[in-house]
Structure formats: structure tokens, C-alpha cells
Amino acid sequence: MSDLSSLTAVRLLEGFSSGDFSPVEATRAALEQAEKVQPHVNAFVRIDGDDALAQARESTERWRRGDPQGPLDGVPVTVKDILLLRGKPTLRGSWSSSTEGPWEEDAPSVARMREAGAVFVGKTTTPEFGWKGVTDSPRHGVTRNPYDTSRTAGGSSGGSSAAVALGAGPLSLGTDAGGSVRIPASFCGMFAIKPTYGRVPIYPASAFGTLAHVGPMTRDARDAALLMDVISEPDARDWSQLAPPHGSFSESVKDGVRGLRIAYSPDFGGRVEVEPAVAAGVRRAVERLAELGAVVEETDPGFDDPIEAFHSLWFAGAARVTQHFTDEQREAMDPGLREVSEDGASRSALDYLAAVDVRMALGKQMGVFHETYDLLVTPTTPGTAFGAGLEVPEGSGYRRWTQWTPFTYPFNMTQQPASSVPCGLDGDGLPMGVQLVAARHRDDLVLRASHALYEAGAADVPAPALAGAE
């Protein structure tokens, strides 16, 4: 990667302020990376070079006058193609989506980024309607891992994770209804946080309801805190949003972990089989948190796997989003999405409400758990990236993506904030992730502990070789 394409957003802003380089130069570097890596990983639905450079020129002039528009002025960013971006089609990985406009609205988080001066490089790939934990779709094909293109980037925000990892802009917006920013962050060696539900306003509402969160996908936790300060601002279109946060995430992220009470659950009480390399990487991260002054106890929240309740909620959402499809549209769907939609349509309202009961009980259990522990630490995923174009790992015997993501989707059911932080590479050179979870409304604790790992050098992983490939 060029020097500029490898910098964090915070570092780019420092350079803009000092005059060391300009938003035009940073945007050109991001666009060059996007064009260079796109044939290898398929991270983008569209790359908007002309528009991005026009935005960057306006930003450069503002910096020249000493009058930046906002806290992201001139920073190249990308947006998952689930979220509305004004003037551009939002296709959601589906042949059922029309390219016809007028595309007059930004999603709330996109609007806040635009107001803050961000430069929009393009839109990133997603599986159809973001329905699974890997990224491939009938419309846009397979998105591949920057560390090994025979492997998946994860999903459903796999395009965003690959774009950030490969230098096509340091900030991206993803969505997460079952692990969809954390899984690809773990697989691609970068950072992501799923904020507390409602912390970042959403519009239009997701078909997957209050499971779905919008979150930052970034180079490190400090960049994510910066982006959270921007996208946590209110938007009248989301009736379920939270009140604006008290204080700045960018400031609170510096407070460290000394005295924080951390519960370390390596395998959910023996319920999950974790690859040895991943287990070792997570343990090293936990040991570093202890060295930094956290009080660590190996324990477990003790809940049963809520997979069937999650399926009732998730499959119902899939059925809803495809409810009005024509026979022709159904034929063009991802076969897996078609299966889960049919499953969801066959379940009753009582099945759905029973799943809500499970969700409420799990939320109570985790609320009580966090009266004792500030953070829960687990692996993000039990293993590293597997073959591209597959929903489940080869030879696993699994049927659905939820079976290999037991650490992520429970915390969508409880609406808690959770991050994925890199914790090294396995023997095949593939990134691994450690997940940090806090009580609802304590996004600050997740960001603080994540930033502490970066500051201590515990989250550093080598850049993918593809980033520098010609």
C-alpha cells in the first residue's frame, strides 16, 4: 500500500491539518487501492472515482482556508450496499433490486458522515439482503479474503472489511444482525464494533428488526471511536434511536482498562470447539488486558445456545423481505436465502413470540451478569476464514452459517455492544479475532478495552500481501 492508503483516519486528519498532504492525495491513494484490488477480492459494487475526487477537491479547499466542514473532512470512506447513499443505487446484492432512482436519501449514518465532510469512495459488497455470515450474492459474485483469495472475507459486511484491510479508505459503514461486522473483521484482520442497538439510528428499518445494528469497520479502535462520535447523532426517521451519548467516545477511549472486571470465556463453558490457534490468540489478548491492570476471571455467562430462537427471528425477517417476490424473482434468489425464507414463512406468530421470550430471558441473564463483570471476552469466531463461496466450512457437517458463529449472534438478541479486535495470525497466515462484549449502553467500555489492546501492540497484524501487489 502507498503511505497514504495505509494511514488511519485520525492520522489522515492530522496530515490535512498540518498541510503534509491533502484530501485529494488521500482520496487518489484510496481509489488506486480500490481499483487495484477489486479484480482480486471483489470488495466493491461500485467505485465512484470522479465523484470522490470532486468531494476531495472541495475538502482540500476547506482545509486550505482553515475551515474544515466537520470531524471527517476529507477522509475516504466506503458504505456497505445495504445502506442508502444519496444519488447511488442500493442493490443489496439482489436481482430483485432496481437500479432506477431517484435515490434521494442517505441512511442516517451516511448522512452524518456526509455532514462531517467524508469523501465517499464507493459501495461495498454484501450477500443478498445481508442474510448470511459470508459475502457472495447471485448479483455480484464472491468476495474474497485479502490474506488468501481462496478463502472467504466473512460477512455479511465482507466487502467493507476487505476494502478497509486493503487500503481503500480507512473507514467503512457495515451492518450487523448476527455478527456481520465482527465476523469479517475477525477474518480480515481489522476492527469492528456493533454498537448498542439504537446507538446509531437506522432507516429504513431492517427486515430483521431490532437484531440489526449499524457499526464502524476501521483500521483500529481509535478510528472507530471517531466514527461513533459522528454517526451516533440523532435522526428523526428512527423512532427506536437512543438519546445522544454523554461525552465523546474519542475522549473516553483513552481511559484504559485498569480496574475493569473482565470475564474470560474461552469456549462458552466447553460448549464450543475452538481451533487451538484461535484459543491461544484470544488467551494472549486476555493476558495482555490483565497486564494492563484489568481484573480477569475465567468464567462463563452460562446460557444455553439460543440458535433455534434466533432462527425463528432471523428466518421470519428473511420471509418478510422476500414476501412479495414474484416467481421469477424467487428463482433468481440465493438458494440458501430462498430456503430460510420458506422456513420463516412456515413458522407461526406463536413461534415468533416464543423466540421473543427466549430473547428477553437472555437479555435479563446478561444484564445480571454485567452487574459483576464490565466486559465479557470470547473468541469472535471459533476458527479462521474457510473456502470462498461457501456458507459453512468444508467438512464441518453444518447446514447454516449460524452453526459456526456461536459467539456473535447471541449478542444481537441482547442488543449489547460488541467488538472484534485482531489477535494474531494462525499457522496459515490467516487473521484471528477476540470479541469484547459489554452491557447495553456501555459502548465506551468496549472501545476503551479495544483501544488498550491496540496501544499495547496486542492487536497488530501484518498487512495482507495483496495490499502491496501490483
Q: Is 80 a catalytic residue?
A: yes
Cross-strand pairs, 85:
88
What is the average pLDDT across 272-297? 98
E-strand stretches of 211-251: 213-218
Residue 143 has pLDDT above 90, yes or no: yes
Q: Which of 160, 180, 265, 450 is catalytic?
A: 180
**Predicted pLDDT at 469:** 62
Taking the C-alpha atoms of residue 411 and residue 417, their distance in angstroms, rounded to an integer, is: 8
Amino acid at the residue 237: R
Q: Is 88 a catalytic residue?
A: no
Can you say whether residue 147 is alpha, beta or left, with left for phi > 0 and alpha for psi between -120 and 50 degrees? alpha
Residue 206 binned pLDDT confidence (cut-offs 50, 70, 90) = very high
**Predicted pLDDT at 468:** 76
Residue 101 binned pLDDT confidence (cut-offs 50, 70, 90) = confident
Q: Which of 80, 88, 123, 194 is catalytic?
A: 80
Residue 470 binned pLDDT confidence (cut-offs 50, 70, 90) = low
Which residues are within 8 A (CB) of 91 and not within 5 positions of it... i.e. 6 or more apart? 45, 81, 97, 99, 139, 140
**pLDDT exceeding 70 applies to what percent of the chain?**
99
Taking the C-alpha atoms of residue 50 and residue 188, their distance in angstroms, rounded to an integer, is: 28
Task: Report the b/e string of 32-43 with b at 16+ CB within 10 A.
Answer: bbbebbbeebbb
Q: Which CATH number fits domain 4-255+380-468: 1.10.287.470, 3.30.430.20, 3.40.50.1000, 3.90.1300.10?
A: 3.90.1300.10
| 24-47: pLDDT as tens digits | 999 999 999 999 999 999 999 999
Q: Which residue has the cell 433468481?
A: 332
CB 307, CB 366: distance < 8 Å: no
Question: Does the predicted TM-score (pTM) go above 0.85?
Answer: yes
Amino acid at the residue 306: P
Q: Is 157 a catalytic residue?
A: no
Q: Which of 59, 156, 206, 312 is catalytic?
A: 156
Cross-strand pairs, 78:
122, 172
Amino acid at the residue 298: E
Neighbours of 327 (CB within 10 A): 6
Cross-strand pairs, 264:
298, 377
